[in-house]
């Protein structure tokens, strides 16, 4: 077996044959970030799942980087898409909801729970889980179409040409703190 003599002076790059240093000869962690040339690591060199969420900077993934249909319904939080984000669509399903909640209303006062401008047709579902001291009202094109106590469940179908509003209304002559019913509105707006 021949002996190899290693000089005491450092070995320079020109003295190393092409392909002479293989991956097994490089210790783990021996090549630092500063030694990796810009743009030298391509997507094909990154293993699937190798980059965790913590390594992705805030706002780094933009809309153009999300494939069409890549975000399913299960990934959209409840109430994350507001009605305002659906305006300007030629024809859209309108779905709005308001959970039953306590409100304080002055004598004869109202609070809007769902409001739409434009024209369309809807189904309004009143759950009936509110207090009898409040009324649930549906106002179509500025006119009260239906008004029932908030503890009564009902469903109504409405066509509108300018607006549709679902309200909680205090019919009493004094201020009242009570729970309005849950509301759901489904339909099409043009």
Find all residues with CB under 8 Å of 94, minimum gap 6, and list them: 83, 86, 116, 120, 122, 185, 186, 187, 188, 189
Candidates 2.60.40, 2.60.120, 2.20.25, 3.30.70; correct CATH number of 83-189?
A: 2.60.120
Please check the confidence at residue 2 and state whether its pLDDT lies above 80.
no
Q: Where are the domains of the chain?
A: 83-189
- pLDDT tens digit sequence for 60-90: 888 888 888 888 778 877 767 665 665 555 4
Q: Please choose, from the candidates 168, 165, 180, 184, the residue with its C-alpha nearest in 3D space to the C-alpha of residue 125.
A: 184
**Which of 177 and 13 is assigned the larger pLDDT?**
177
- pLDDT tens digit sequence for 128-166: 999 999 999 999 999 999 999 999 999 999 999 999 999
Q: How far is CA 106 from CA 26, 175, 176, in A?
A: 78, 4, 6
State both tokens at 34.
């500063």
Q: Please choose, from the candidates 120, 110, 162, 166, the residue with its C-alpha nearest in 3D space to the C-alpha of residue 141.
A: 162
State both tokens at 2.
């021949």
pLDDT for the residue numbered 144 = 97
Positive/negative CA dihedral, 148, 151, 156, 158: positive
- pLDDT tens digit sequence for 95-134: 788 999 999 999 999 999 999 988 889 999 999 999 999 9
Do residues 122 and 190 make contact, with C-beta atoms less than 8 angstroms apart? no
- pLDDT tens digit sequence for 13-32: 788 888 888 878 888 888 88
pLDDT for the residue numbered 140 = 97
The answer to pTM > 0.75 is no
């Amino acid at each position: 077996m021949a002996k190899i003599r290693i000089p005491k002076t450092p070995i320079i790059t020109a003295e190393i044959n092409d392909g002479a240093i293989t991956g097994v000869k490089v210790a783990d962690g021996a090549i630092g970030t500063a030694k990796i040339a810009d743009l030298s690591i391509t997507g094909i060199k990154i293993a699937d799942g190798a980059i965790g969420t913590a390594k992705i900077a805030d706002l780094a993934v933009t809309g153009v980087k999300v494939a069409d249909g890549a975000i399913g319904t299960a990934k959209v939080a409840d109430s994350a898409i507001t009605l305002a984000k659906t305006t300007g669509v030629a024809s859209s399903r309108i779905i709005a909801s308001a959970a039953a909640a306590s409100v304080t209303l002055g004598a004869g006062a109202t609070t809007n729970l769902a409001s739409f401008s434009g024209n369309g047709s809807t189904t309004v579902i009143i759950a009936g889980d509110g207090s009898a001291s409040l009324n649930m009202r549906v106002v179509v094109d500025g006119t009260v179409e239906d008004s029932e106590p908030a503890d009564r469940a009902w469903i109504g179908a409405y066509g509108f040409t300018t607006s549709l509003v679902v309200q909680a209304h205090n019919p009493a002559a004094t201020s009242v703190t009570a729970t309005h019913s849950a509301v759901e509105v489904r339909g099409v707006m043009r």
